[in-house]
């Protein structure tokens, strides 16, 4: 017999020994685990250890039928948890610290749980903690995890109520009490199904308030994957291994060719010998702060919609040649755009860009102002070979365009390699790349080209952003991922031309620009398994499923997560209801709640009316059993009438033997006479109305002593 085949009977036997309350507690533990597990990636290591330890401790107490730990010990653990939270986050408030404390306290409440009331408290905490999961993620898998947790919590509460309904009831079982658990699960599922229409109605009607409903301190930063406000050799090649979504875009007309999809984010002009940063960044400034440079459109503008993923940063992505990017945005230095505040949620932007444009020329930013802004500045003592090579190029070429072509020809001619795994570079990184290793990613080529241009007297800067993107054939959106991060250069070619984009990567690996990084990966020697993990390679079925899932995810983002006050107003206008104000929406919510309550009350009333009314003999028997229960004789649901009669008469006869019972000496005889009449009328022959009247009088006269 396999280990699994031996394990199943063992588990069933263990469950059978727990009893109904034990199995209900075990179901509650499962529900709490479903609530807590999604938070594991946010908990510090010590909190994870405490959580697992508390679950193990509770399971041991449950298996051994032990009492809860001493309250003093639990109080000491609470103090240690508070201290650990303070050490980990520097505060007891905020999103991360608050959720950590809530998880810890709920686990300790599990250890303290003894009465059925405690289990309901744990369930209520579980409902609240399940909602906090949306503070970290609002994705479809996160929502599915919350729904599963809610279902288990409802089932656990129902299981507790089944035991509370009749403490003496014997649960119908098939081995390990599975029938009772199935009943609890089915009831929880029905409760959730009944509540979903009301939840959907509240989702549509509840007033949307612009901005977040709360402000969580100490969570403004938060780690995220994507571009940063500096660029050093190796930064973008690390991003190339990430399949995380950066943004999605969709054009009103046909999309441009792959080689024209340059998504501009940051312009970097400050170089310290190794890293590039945006120019003009005093303390407290944001990347890209500074005066804007005008974009003069030389072709018809393209209209597009862009959905940016949360990053926490202010800079935005726009198709090169940006003219507009929607409200709550502003142009900044180098034709880049910023949001008014950091992107904490998915943001929908409506952009306009010209593929053919002139940048900065209309403002008259000629050679003098450009030089004064530092576009020719190079740090002293770095990359001497590159500086010398730039001076020699200037001596050989008086025309700037001819000089640029000579450098690009060198990249194509002298066996330069485009690779995600370039050699490490030292202090003079540009010298080592240009003359020694000759292998690098896009940031190596952009940095070296910009330094070489400055050394030759041509103002130059680095632009960081994304290039390309994959069109999803299901919904037509262009998906731009972190692996599409790219860097290129811009050079100043006089007032007539302005800033001109030069991408040295296109000279070394044109397939990267024309077909995307994914198509260039085989030439780069990247392992196929890595591409498969990112979803950029694999069988056609796998790619089709990935596209379908991405389209579903995008629909979720647009229809659910983006449902704000504007979308709500648009929905009501399409339904012909106008644009309701907040008071009208609140009244609608209250009306929906009232209708739901009325429907629930009507359903309960209908079920009560449809329930068959017991006949007169059954009602008399129930009244008689109630009087016996008042005297301490309670009938078990599984107990036959004859057996109950013998037990009740014997108990009443024993009570009558006591001196204190002299005032009711005939209680046992009365009960025996009533039992004989009830059993005879039920199982021998139907009673006549006169017999029922006599039986009713006997039961009315039956008044046994209440137990002390």
Active site residue 486: yes
pLDDT at 405 over 90: yes
pLDDT at 569 over 80: no
Inter-helix orientation angle 400-413/442-455, to 10°: 140
How many C-beta neighbours within 10 Å does residue 479 have?
21
| Region 566-589 average pLDDT | 76
pLDDT at 18 over 70: no
For 350, phi then psi, to 5°, come to -120, 105
Report the number of secondary-structure helices (H) and strands (E) in the chain.
24, 19
Confidence of residue 600 (pLDDT cuts 50, 70, 90): confident
pLDDT at 399 over 80: yes
| Region 608-632 average pLDDT | 82
Residue pair 484/468 in contact by the 8 Å Cβ criterion: yes
Say how far apart CA 171 and CA 174 lie, in whole Å.
Answer: 10
Say how far apart CA 276 and CA 190 lie, in whole Å.
Answer: 59
pLDDT at 660 over 60: no
Is residue 329 left, alpha or beta, with left meaning phi > 0 and alpha meaning psi from -120 to 50? Answer: beta
Decide which of 581 and 698 is more confident.
698
* Secondary structure (3-state) at 290: coil
Active site residue 630: no
Count of alpha carbons within 13 Å of 448, Cβ hemisphere only? Answer: 30
* Secondary structure (3-state) at 418: strand
pLDDT digits (tens, 9 = 90+) for 477-498: 999 988 888 999 999 988 888 8
pLDDT digits (tens, 9 = 90+) for 193-222: 888 888 888 888 777 765 544 444 444 444
pLDDT at 78 over 90: no
Residue 265 burial by Cβ neighbours in a 10 Å radius (0-12, 13-18, 19+) = buried
Please state, for a pLDDT cut of 90, what percent of the chain lies above it: 16
pLDDT of residue 209: 66
Six-digit token string for 623: 């009244």
- The end-to-end CA distance of the chain, in Å, is 57
Decide which of 466 and 567 is more confident.
466
pLDDT digits (tens, 9 = 90+) for 128-145: 898 888 888 888 888 899
Residue pair 157/120 in contact by the 8 Å Cβ criterion: yes
pLDDT of residue 211: 53
Residue 445 burial by Cβ neighbours in a 10 Å radius (0-12, 13-18, 19+) = buried
pLDDT digits (tens, 9 = 90+) for 153-174: 988 888 877 754 444 444 444 4
Closest alpha carbon to 337 in 53, 350, 90: 350
Residue pair 154/186 in contact by the 8 Å Cβ criterion: no
- The catalytic position among 20, 39, 444, 486 is 486
Say how far apart CA 587 and CA 673 lie, in whole Å.
Answer: 63
pLDDT of residue 282: 40
Least confident of 119-133, 265-279, 564-578, 686-700: 564-578
pLDDT of residue 446: 92
284: DSSP letter: T
Count of alpha carbons within 13 Å of 473, Cβ hemisphere only? Answer: 5
- The catalytic position among 503, 547, 633, 655 is 503
pLDDT of residue 294: 84
Least confident of 392-396, 458-462, 679-683: 679-683
Q: Which residues pair with 329 in a beta bridge?
A: 339
| Region 639-660 average pLDDT | 77
| Region 580-589 average pLDDT | 77
- The catalytic position among 107, 145, 442, 633 is 442
pLDDT digits (tens, 9 = 90+) for 279-335: 754 434 444 444 567 888 999 999 999 988 888 788 898 999 999 998 888 888 888
For 465, phi then psi, to 5°, come to 180, -135
pLDDT at 529 over 50: no
pLDDT digits (tens, 9 = 90+) for 375-397: 888 998 899 999 999 999 999 99
Active site residue 442: yes
Closest alpha carbon to 499 in 365, 373, 408, 393: 365
């Amino acid at each position: 017999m396999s280990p699994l085949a031996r394990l199943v009977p063992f588990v069933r036997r263990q469950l059978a020994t727990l009893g109904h309350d034990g199995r209900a507690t075990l179901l509650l533990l499962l529900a709490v685990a479903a609530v807590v597990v999604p938070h594991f990636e946010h908990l510090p290591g010590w909190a994870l250890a405490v959580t697992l330890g508390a679950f193990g401790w509770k399971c041991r107490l449950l298996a051994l039928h032990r009492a809860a730990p001493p309250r003093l010990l639990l109080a000491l653990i609470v103090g240690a948890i508070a201290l650990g939270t303070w050490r980990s986050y520097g505060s007891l408030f905020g999103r991360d610290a608050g959720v950590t404390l809530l998880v810890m306290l709920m686990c300790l409440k599990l250890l303290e749980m003894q009465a059925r009331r405690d289990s309901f408290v744990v369930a209520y905490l579980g409902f609240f903690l399940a909602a906090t999961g949306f503070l970290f993620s609002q994705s479809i898998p996160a929502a599915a995890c919350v729904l599963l947790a809610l279902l288990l919590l409802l089932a656990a509460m129902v299981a507790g109520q089944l035991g509370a309904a009749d403490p003496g009831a014997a649960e119908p079982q098939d081995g390990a009490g599975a029938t009772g658990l199935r009943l609890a699960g089915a009831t929880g599922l029905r409760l959730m199904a009944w509540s979903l229409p009301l939840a959907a109605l509240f989702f549509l009607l509840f007033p949307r308030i612009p901005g977040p409903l709360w402000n969580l301190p100490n969570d403004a930063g938060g780690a995220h994957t994507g571009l940063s406000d500096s660029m050093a050799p190796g930064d973008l090649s690390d991003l190339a291994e990430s399949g995380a979504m950066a943004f999605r875009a969709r054009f009103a007309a046909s999309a441009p060719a792959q080689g024209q999809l340059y998504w501009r984010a940051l312009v970097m002009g400050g170089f310290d010998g190794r890293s590039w940063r945006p120019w003009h960044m005093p303390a407290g400034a944001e990347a890209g702060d500074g005066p804007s440079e005008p974009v003069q459109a030389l072709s018809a503008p393209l209209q597009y919609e862009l959905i940016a993923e949360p990053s926490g940063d202010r800079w935005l992505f726009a198709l090169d040649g940006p003219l507009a990017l929607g409200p709550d945005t502003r142009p900044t230095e180098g034709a880049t755009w910023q949001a008014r505040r950091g992107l904490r949620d998915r943001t929908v932007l409506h952009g306009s860009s010209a593929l053919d444009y002139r940048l900065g020329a209309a403002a008259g930013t000629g050679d003098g102002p450009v030089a004064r802004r530092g576009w020719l500045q190079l740090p002293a003592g770095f990359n001497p070979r590159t500086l010398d090579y730039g001076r020699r190029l200037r001596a050989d070429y008086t025309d700037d365009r001819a000089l640029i072509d000579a450098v690009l020809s060198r990249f194509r001619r002298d066996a330069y390699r485009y690779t995600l795994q370039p050699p490490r570079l030292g202090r003079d990184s540009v010298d080592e790349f240009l003359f020694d290793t000759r292998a690098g990613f896009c940031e190596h080529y952009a940095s070296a080209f910009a330094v070489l241009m400055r050394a030759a007297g041509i103002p130059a800067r680095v632009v960081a952003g994304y290039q390309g993107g994959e069109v999803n054939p299901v919904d037509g959106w262009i998906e731009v991922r972190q692996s599409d991060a790219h860097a290129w250069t811009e050079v100043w070619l006089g007032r007539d031309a302005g800033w001109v984009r030069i991408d040295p990567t296109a000279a070394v690996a044109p397939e990267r620009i024309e077909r995307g990084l994914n198509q260039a990966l085989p030439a780069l020697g990247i392992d196929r398994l890595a591409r498969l993990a990112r979803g950029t390679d694999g069988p056609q079925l796998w790619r089709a499923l990935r596209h379908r899932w991405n389209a579903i995810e995008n629909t979720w983002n647009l229809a659910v997560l983006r449902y704000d006050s504007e979308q709500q107003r648009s929905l009501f206008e399409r339904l012909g209801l106008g644009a309701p104000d907040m008071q009208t929406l609140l009244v609608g919510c209250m009306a929906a709640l009232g209708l739901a309550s009325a429907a629930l009350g009507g359903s309960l009333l209908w079920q009560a009316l449809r329930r068959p009314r017991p006949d007169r003999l059954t009602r008399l028997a129930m009244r008689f059993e109630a009087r016996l229960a008042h005297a301490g004789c309670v009938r078990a649901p599984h107990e036959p009438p004859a057996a109950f009669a013998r037990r009740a008469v014997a108990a009443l006869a024993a009570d009558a033997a006591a001196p204190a019972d002299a005032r009711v000496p005939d209680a046992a005889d009365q009960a025996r006479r009533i039992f004989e009449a009830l059993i005879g009328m039920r199982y021998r022959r139907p009673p006549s109305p006169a017999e029922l009247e006599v039986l009713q009088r006997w039961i009315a006269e039956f008044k046994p002593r209440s137990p002390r």
